Every structure is written in structure tokens, then in C-alpha cells.
Amino acid sequence: MTTHVFIVDNNTFKYHLEYMFAGTGAGNNFIDFNSVGTTNLHYATENNLLGMIADISRIRIGDNVVFYLQQDYSKGIYEGKFYGIFRVRSLGFLDNNDGGQFLINELQKSLTFRILIEPLEVYADGVTEWEALDEIKNICSPNQMLWSLIYRKLKGNRGNTMITIYEFERLYQLIREKNYYVPLGGQNFSFDSYSQQIIQIPQSNSYDGRFGSINILPRLLAKYEKGHQFETHLQAYILQNIEQIFNSGFEWIEWIGNEVSCGVGMQRIDIMLSKINGINRVCMPIELKSSEAYLGITHQIQRYVDWIRQYYLPNRQSDLVPVLISRQILDKNSQYFSNLIAEFQNFNAINNINLKYIEFTIENNSINFSKIVY
């Protein structure tokens, strides 16, 4: 299962705990493109919101949630801290910023994309950012550090960040050690800002907000019809439907990531999966293109493969199957397509792996995915 780290502040954390939910938002923006093909938003704002939709769409029921309390000197919070552990009990939903958003006055900010959670194993004290990210006690190799969180810190805020299974195992152990292995009892919690601890309370509050479904397909189709790029929309759509798209004989998906940072630069893997098939584990970095695949595209995929082999596989032994998903190339007899396939074959020979090539088509208001055998 995937673990998701949600960013909270001194005020919002209390309400997340008392109402058992987590969420993200982007200022005062209203989502006007849900279930429709048009929007009045600037394209950069739309893509930013689509990134948040993609983030919430990777979450599955039964996943883990950890909260990261942001540093705030004015409130006496001198270090950021990680608190947990909670379990996801709903898929992502929309509570739009239209004047009726649940708890917006109490939160003092808009959290548009939300999930419901429940206690799993809750500890009072949080682990400081220094303890989790900087201290190297018991770290034998750089690849054992919590790079997902380090990259997030380097690249700016992201309200909902996934971490790998082995990163969660380390963070979970740090939280347990911090609390002398004694979790809190009960099911009802709040946050004491003075002690900076999660505390038990006699009774929790009922979450009575709206549960709007998130449907970005009409907007994706509209951009396709106009000849515009829609990679962010495609990422969100695939994350919402990942089990239906990647169901070719694998038993189950144990981990889902998106925008997976793989270096201190800006390289990010669009989607990454860890799948279980019997006793075998498969790591699948997925590169998405709303255009046709182009010559030279394997250079980018090569960076992903190199990073995964150095940083991921030593901690999570897996077969490596990179995937490219792009728009259908109609003329399979063209020299261009032949050159592209030759590039794939050369990539496979160099890396001793097989790049999985999937094309998508859009017709009758639906997206269809087909594996191309070459």
C-alpha cells in the first residue's frame, strides 16, 4: 500500500484529527472544469489544479496517511514534524470552493480535494524533520535516506506527497521509537498546539461535508478535440483507472506514485507502480505523452531507469519494466515508426530489459489503450 504525506499547519491539524479527513487546495480557486469540457481558468492554474487532482487520484482505500506539521516560529513550532499513522477510508472527492465548503471558516483556507481517514496506529509525538531527513544514524547507504521527502523540500511545496514502502517503514519506525513504542488508545483525537502532541478526546466530530465525484474526462476530450496538449489530464485519468488499464495477469498493485522525483533537478517520473505477481515484484516507471512518441524519448526514460537502479531497487528488489504511453501512430509502415522501434530495441539491448509500449486512441468519448508488440 502507498503512504501519503499531507501538509498541515498549527490550525488545520486540529480539524483534520477531530473530523478525520485530509485534504489539499490551491488558494481560492473554484474548479469550474469538473464534468464539463470548458474552463475560465488560466492554463497554468488549470494544470496546477490537475496536478492536485492527480495526487488525490493515486490514493486508494486502505493506504496509509502521515501528517507533516509545518514549521511556524510564530506558533512555537521550531521544526517541522511527522505524525501518524492513519488509514484511508474513502477515495478522493471534491468539496468545491463555492461558499459551501465544509469547515472552510474553521480551517481558514480552502481544501478542495479531500479523503476520509481513520486511526490506524496513532502516536502522540511527531518526529522532527531533522530526525527523519538529516540524521544518518543507522543509515548505511545514501539510497536508504527518505529521498521522496528530501526532494519535496528542495522543489517546493506539494500538499500531498507519496513515499515509497521502504521509506514508510523507516519513518514508521522513527515515530514508534520517538514514542517509546506506545501508541495512543481510543479512536478520537485532536491536536494540542502548546505541547505539539496528538491528544485523545472523549468524542470526535461527524464529517458532514459534500462528497463530489471528480470527473476530468470531458475536459480532457475537449482539449484533445482542439489539438491542445493534455498530459496532466491524462495522468489524472490513468491514476483514477489504473487497475483497469494495467490488469494483464498481475495479481495486484502494491504501490502507486505520480510525479516521482528522481534527482535534485526537475526530473520526475509521471507515474510509477510496484506490482505483485505471485512471488515476483515488478517496478514500472511510466512515461506519459499526449502526443505521438518521438525519436529520442528513451533518453528521458534512461534517466528514470538509472535512478531506480541506484536508489529504489537496492531497497525493494524488483523486476524493472519501463512503460511508455503515447498517442497512436497511424502509419506503422513509415520510416519514422521503424526508427522509433529501432530506438526501443537498442534501449532494451543496452539495459537488458523490455520497454513496454502502449498507444492510446480517443473515440466515442472514451480512451482506449493498446499494447504494441514490436
Pairing label, strands 319-320, 323-327:
unpaired
Determine what percent of the chain is predicted with pLDDT higher than 70. 94
Q: Which pLDDT belongs to residue 338?
A: 98
Q: Residues 194-251: pLDDT tens digits?
A: 999 999 999 989 999 999 999 999 999 999 999 999 999 999 999 999 998 886 665 7
Q: What residue spans in the chain does CATH classification 3.40.91 cover? A: 216-372
Q: Residues 301-326: pLDDT tens digits?
A: 999 999 999 999 999 999 999 999 99
For residue 169, what is its C-alpha cell?
Answer: 517503514
In this prediction, residue 262 has a pLDDT band, given cuts at 50, 70 and 90, of confident
Task: Specify the pTM.
Answer: 0.94
Give long-range contacts, CB 8 A cutoff, 24+ apart: 144-147. 144/170, 144/315, 146/170, 146/171, 147/261, 147/311
Q: Which pLDDT belongs to residue 246?
A: 82
Q: Which pLDDT belongs to residue 266?
A: 67
Closest CA to 196 of 105, 127, 130: 127
In this prediction, residue 147 has a pLDDT band, given cuts at 50, 70 and 90, of confident
DSSP for 281-341, please give it.
EEEEEEEEEEEE--TTHHHHHHHHHHHIIIIITTTS--EE--EEEEEPPS-TTSHHHHHHH
- pLDDT exceeds 90 at position 184: yes
Give the Cα separation of 105 and 120 in Å (integer): 28
Give the Cα separation of 205 and 324 in Å (integer): 45
In this prediction, residue 277 has a pLDDT band, given cuts at 50, 70 and 90, of confident
- pLDDT exceeds 80 at position 154: no
Q: Which pLDDT belongs to residue 248?
A: 62
Q: Which pLDDT belongs to residue 153?
A: 63
Q: Which pLDDT belongs to residue 249?
A: 61
Select from 1.20.120, 3.30.160, 3.40.91, 1.10.1450 the CATH code of 216-372. 3.40.91
Per-residue pLDDT, averaged over 38-57, amounts to 96
Q: Which pLDDT belongs to residue 155?
A: 56
Q: Which pLDDT belongs to residue 139?
A: 66
Give the Cα separation of 285 and 305 in Å (integer): 8
- pLDDT exceeds 80 at position 143: no
Q: Where are the alpha helices (DSSP H) in the chain?
A: 12-19, 43-57, 104-107, 129, 147-155, 165-178, 217-225, 231-240, 242-245, 297-307, 335-351
Determine what percent of the chain is predicted with pLDDT higher than 90. 86
Q: Residues 92-113: pLDDT tens digits?
A: 999 999 999 999 999 999 999 9
In this prediction, residue 267 has a pLDDT band, given cuts at 50, 70 and 90, of confident
In this prediction, residue 348 has a pLDDT band, given cuts at 50, 70 and 90, of very high
Q: What residue spans in the chain does CATH classification 3.10.590.10 cover? A: 3-200
- Top-level class of domain 3-200: alpha beta
